[in-house]
Structure 1
Amino acid sequence: MSRIGYLLLLSMLLSAATAMAQDRFEAMQYGSVVDEQGRPVPNVEVRGLWKRLHRSPFPSSLVVTRTDQKGKFAVPLPAGEVSGIEFLVSDESGLVGYVKRDITRLGEPVHKPAKVLLKPGYKYHVEVKDADGNVCEDINVSVMPAFLGKFVQQTDAQGKATIFAPIEHRADAIVAWKRERGIDYVMFDRFGEIAAGRISQLHKSTVEMKLTSWKSYRIRVVDLDKKPLAHVALTPKGIHVIERGLPVTSGNLMTVYTDDKGWADVRVPDNSPHPSILVQKPGWYTYDVTGASLYSDGPIKMVPMIPIKGSVLNPDGSPAEGVPVFFNGANEPTRRFQEFARTDHDGKFYAEVPGNSYCIVFAKTNDLAASPVRLVVHHDRPVQPGTLKLAPMTQVFGKLTDRNGQPLKNGRLSFRQADGKWGEYFETLPVEQRLTQGPKNSSIFNGHYTRADEEGKYEILLPKGQYEISLEKDSQSQQFTINSGEPKELDLQNRMLPERMLRGRLIAADESGCSVAKARILGLAQNLLSNKKFYYASFHASCNSQGEFETKLLDLPYVIAAKSQDERCQGLVFVHPDTDNVDIRLDPVMEVTGTLLEPDGTPVAKRSITANLEFEYDGQTHTAPGKWGTTTDADGRFKLSGLIARQKYTVRVLRDVRPGEIGQRLEFAMHFNTEENNANQDLGEVRIASPEN
């Protein structure tokens, strides 16, 4: 891309962000820029970046301005609660400045102006080459995520560039990119020990980078009536070059926009695994697209945002000003969502939620709450939930004890106020919409949380309603109803199983190149409610430099997975309840390939394939959480990456939805074992034997 092309791209990013925010500004943030002697700096570029606290049509918003002759500037802020307001300043000589402000709420004036100090920052020398080792000229280089404006430089004829970054700004990486050529990055190490392939904030030597070529996804976006949507922003959520280990955030770096027919080509690094793409357009709900949707011939359907207006009253009937109003809901394809608003001086609120959804609206303050209002939100009409009236909440108090009757110190307690509808949403929409946009479940709840003190005592205020009560690390729950404002005493006992100490050690396979230092550990415990399912979040741990770890476990069987810091090696082991010590072998992750064919030998193109890891316990087969997924290409070929050696997998092939069905259905399943020697495997021709209906 030429410099003119880059400027056009930058202009398009700025105009999109400006269009998103037009007519929605509510307040001004003022500030000034000074040099190290405290003198005002006139006519320098100031870039204001922010992010909406609860939801944003774009990952972040950007306004560009310049200081006046007295070094002052003003930046408009958007409606709603805003977090992470950042100001980046740079001049022609390489001086830079940075400041970050706290959360600003709708309607609240910003009293204290931002003061940005322009001074020397970090300096990095970068050299960029292509995959063949040839120097690359005119490649964009910058720190991430501050990659716009003067913070971007281009490499010269020798492939070199010098970039600057504010000392106060904690950048993720240095990135080099060109839309026609490719991308690479080098991550900063923030933990004091410089890992292989990383750099420090004070890096002095030349940072060497080698471009990885792009691969492209052809994507079309339409509305619910299948009409094309233009100017939709498609943004890969992260940049992941396998050779660099972990991914980094991309901001708007690789954002592209659909044309008048709804088409766009999204680029990601060629070997990027499992890309996730944000689909964003002002007035439409933002959601992720992953997996089969990227390979499917079908378009991506966007759901419009629907206005919700209402008001909140105090118990005496007067308008309630400044009251938070929450909107929890679910639909397809956006699934679950949360929105937020705050009442104005007349007690009125305004928000937007996805269409074709089931939504609960509730308002509460520290000691007042309104009864939740349940709504069905169609995609073609506004919604008015009416008036929410606040009432005093009920005081609930008691004592938490463990299974032996001893006080449960600092125990976490949750009260979930369920909607009680359980799918009634399906009966409120026409059949056509019900089949295509109906949610997988509509169990939406209003959660309240507290912790016990050192004596196990707790206290919480709750609105009227029916609750499901859960204690930390206790999968059993109980029901509780509040139907009056009188204080209620409720003593609770945590019935979780006893804990035990487990000590583990990672062992790298011979000549594998795997590193056990600082590897990450995840434990999956058997669900108390079912002996066939295992669930996440049992425990997380990190190894020391020798690959050792220890942790407390419940007295249950566990599946323990280990992953090296660079994610190139993994291991897995099953641990019985009576195990105190365990060794886990780390092997390089592997690939499994094959060709999917119909019974007559015809290649099965663009079909979703998933692989689940299975293991045996008590004579039964269990499926571990998580899965590996891919889609066949035009010739039926597929590749499953990141699999663990010496394990048993089940591959499932899904077929398309038929009339009257919701969601893809299983068509064919097969089993295979990954090899002992960690070599990549080819399953050859895999024929769909007998499709299931």
Structure 2
Amino acid sequence: MSGDERSRATGPVLLVVAGLVAAALWWWRDGAGGAAEPGAGDAGELPVQAPVTALPEGRPELVLPVHLGERASIAGTVRDPRGQPVAGAQVCAITRAEMLASKDTEKPSCATSERDGHYRIEGLFGVRYTVMASAPGFAPGVYQQGQGAALRGWIDLRPKMEALGIDISLEDGGVEIHGVVKDLSGGPVEGAQVLADRSFAWTGADGSFSMWVKEGPAWVMASADGYAPGNEDGVAPGHAFEVFLTPESVLVGKVVRTGEGGEPIEGAQVFAMGGGWSFNNRSAYTDANGEFRIDGLEPGAYKPRAEADDALGVGKEQVILGLGETSAKIVIEAHPAFLLEGTVVTEGGGSCDDGNVSFNDNAQGRSDWVSVQAGQVRKRGVLPGDYQISVHCTGFVAAERYDRVKVVDKSVTGLRWEVTKGQSIHGVVVDGSGKGVEKLNISASAKPDPNNPRAHQTEGAWGVVTDAQGRFELAGLLPATYEVSANSYSRPRATPAKPTIVVLPEGQDVKDIRIELPPSGELRGSVRDPQGQPIAKANVGINDGVHWQSTQAADDGSFHFASVPGGEYRVTASHGWWGGSMRKPGTSDDDVQGEVVEVRDGKVATVKLVVESSSGRISGQVRDESGGPVADAFIESTRESDSAAASAGRAVRNGRWGSFWEQPNLTDQDGKFTLEGLPTGKHTLRAHRKGGGEAIVEHVELGSDVVLTIEAAGRMSGTVVVRGGGAPEEFTIAVVDEATGYRRGDQFFRTGGAWSLAELPAGKYKVSVSAGAGTAEAHTTMSAGKDTSGVRIELAPKVTVRGTVVDTDGKPVAGMEVSVQSPGTWSGSGADENKLHVTDEQGRYEVANAPSGQVTIQVYPRGWGDSEYSWSSMPAQLSNSASVIELPPIKVARRRVKDGEASGELGIKYKESEAGVDPLARQMIVAHVRPGSPAAVGGIQVGDEVTSVDGQDVSGPNAYLYHALTNVPEGTTLTFGLASGKSVAVTAGKKP
């Protein structure tokens, strides 16, 4: 697969993954539940500068913590879809309120409905709850209130509140799923709590559970006392779920004030800040002695952070927690800090009930945000600074700019931020018969005004779901031209390939928008190996170049797409969400995989995928540097690509290490392991202790018995200084070994510039540092078991970057956002209150506080709908010899394939860059030409270096233009310039 083909192919997968990630986020996000936008009326005149008032105080007013307040209760009735009461339904209330500790949010409060469907739940905190119900024979339901854009899927409770009438309607179409929760040894976990869809269950003595959920993709999450949470995805029905839990690691310590007395701080919230993909973000509150205990952690590296109304503390070094390990008691010294408190007020004097407020001090490199709760915003542990404020309130329009908030030596309370109602787009989604279609996701993206590219622009609207009649309302919009899209994320189905264009005029809502879904058919199939054995949980995708869908095969290898627009599709299967395509027997990664099938409207098509066996196994042992067994190592495997384009170590760098969708494999007491269900081919194995120490063996054949030796890890330490003297108050460190893909990061606060990272494996590291005062990069080598100390890094001052964005003809392009990024930094995003990072009519932009050195410059259209220009990402080397840098014009290419159109195919793969290669020296070397492809017919050969496309340079730093220039419709002829001096004409063909 060529670079351009790969980027297009991964898009659907990433969006499917994003859908599953969104499901996981629902598990912890406070107040989720699929609610639509709040109501909106006619837009008033928007102030350029919204008023903000502040009442500074010496010490913040004492506020009783939520978990210490009096409890609330709810009561209501559970009914079936026809309005009849349901007895024996399980009703659970769950919260993910940020101000509560993990132990107060991880377990739901539940009750069982009586004969008349009535239930009552007591002992609830005065926070936001989602209330859901499930019962055999039904899909789960959730409590909702309001209509249209005012629909809400939660209830806000207050202390001592008794909320009545919290009624829930179950849904038809439920299916029963079964599973088991096990520990890493395979033993059952009794009493584990299991969540899927909106349904809870608890495991029995044998670890088994069953529950009723809606049909389709399901994400099952389990937790139990003494363990870190675990999860597994699958299709419901058709998959027997198996969730493995890891013995919990525990972080314990104490928070004290700086100074000789070391006074303990009661009521500080301590967060275990881990790195990487993790939804297991846990916290705890300190007791009267300042002590805390954070349990339920996976093994790994954690940095504790303590926040109080008047203090902020960060651990001096990451704590490395082994499997089932409790840390030594650490002491966090908290420094004086302050409280920011305010209210988000809607037009007419109401309160915002869904949103967030962000605080940014670009000069200090500080950025944080906090959710709005019943209109209130309360941010603890704020350091002195000059903060730019950004407000988001779902369904409302924020002001173009709010007064900055200066924190000097006092807390700041009584702040007030106003948002206006905005305007609305009303509509309905129907099928071919004119019947309304429910539970479709509707979004609106504004197209920038070419005459005023830096004008205030709302973020659009999303998260809106059609009701039972297919109706929707997109609220909180400014007058503009919008692209309104309908999608189905929870259950794949046919949706329009092109958005609906809606012009929202000044002071007037738009009503009666009608979106009609395309006609569709069904596709059924199976994935099996050459012996006819099913490939369970294969991820199956279909794509015709315009429409795509993805699902997961059941345990018997079968899959089903219930609603597919008519057309010719290529159907492929892959290993997991991150894995490559499963191959036909006897083929390679350079061959086109999958089968082509025609789907006709109103008909059922079938397809059979025969792929290489996934029944291989590799066994072995993990040893330490002295030859002894390692009993707590995790083993992961990635099949190595045999593509001619693959670079050395590709599986190491791009492997799915630590995927949270996979069963963990842990060595036994003798350090031994066995990996099963492996696909055909050679594999790269990695053994690691989460948090430190690893071993990698490449090119392992199936059936092998291998030994992996984890060498002793070491510590890297040094100092960060500011040019001219002194040390930054805060800074981040990121280290990466590009040869193996190993990376770690950490944040440091008031350490006098000192930093250290423990348990680093041997390797050659690039060390990147970012602080408000500047950025820097250094290179150093770690030897096994040896400490590397004295790594001194001097920060280079940040710079202001200016320049022009032009098209490939050299004409200025307005309305493009520009940002400058280096490891651990990001500049020029929406935090730029003057929007100078957005190109004006002359294509000019300015990005302040940009990092210097090796950076990546991102240029992308405003909004997230269909755009005339492509997203561009290019490498650059920025000098810090001057405070202002004028860059040469940045070229962006026009999109030649619009939404709803299919791309042509060239049949070229390019050699992937080796680890550590300077991106400014990128070469487009042809590694593979598919026989009979347009490239082969045109005369492109393996080994050719492509230097231009249609006269546009695509070599070195301009290689980023290649994708946009070659993503063209079928039948388009391109001229490739080669390093040899030859020119070759290639006409894009139909995708195979």
Instruction: Please state which band the TM-score falls in when normalised by the shorter chain.
Output: 0.3 to 0.5
Q: TM-score, normalised to structure 2's length? A: 0.35
